[in-house]
Amino acid sequence: PRIALIGCIRERLRLAGLARYMISPGGRSTIDICHHLVSKRSAVNWLIRHLGAEGVAQLGEPIGINTIYFGDEVVLHGNDLPVAEVSGTTCFAVNELTHRVPFRSNIELPTEFTECTGPEATAAVLESLAAFAERRAEASDEE
């Protein structure tokens, strides 16, 4: 049914003169619609710059050095894998099928934090990172 719906949306966009938009299956149940020149990678790059969170080029820091991304389709041909190509970004693969996650230095599995996957794994990692940040802030206040 989702593929048929994608075909209907694609045809309606074409008839409306919006053929430059790409329609594809997103995650497990979503449909992605975006301009043909936009991908998750380019969107994350834009967001990093828009928020002023990019690394400092003069110090040799990559653009995504301050970025952590969580994706449930960080697999070959998965819709979250392009984000792992953003230089410096740490990408947590919260996929159910962890054996399909490609080996790359910036892709992490949340197994150090939890055995869960999906939103529960994301929450566990974020809680751990928040606790770490609080400990670091307290230590710096004591100095």
Kindly report, residue by residue over 49-97, the tens digit of the pLDDT.
Answer: 999 999 999 999 999 999 999 999 899 888 899 999 999 999 999 999 8
Question: How many other β-carbons are positioned within 10 Å of the β-carbon of residue 11?
Answer: 11
What pLDDT score was predicted for residue 26? 73
Name residue, tokens 């301009």: 35
CB atoms within 10 A of CB 32: 15
Q: What is the pLDDT of residue 78?
A: 85
Task: Find the angle CA(50)-CA(55)-CA(58) to the nearest 5 degrees.
Answer: 120
Place of tokens 């929450």: 123
- How is residue 82 written in tokens? 């392009």
Nearest Cα residue to 104 out of 133, 84, 77: 84
pLDDT for position 74:
92
Burial-class residue 101 by CB neighbours within 10 Å (0-12, 13-18, 19+). Answer: buried
Residue at token pair 């003169």 = 17
- Furthest C-alpha separation in the chain: 65
Question: Residues with Cβ < 8 Å from 16, sequence gap 6 or more?
Answer: none
This prediction has a pTM of 0.78
Judge contact between 95 and 75, C-beta under 8 A: yes
DSSP 39: -
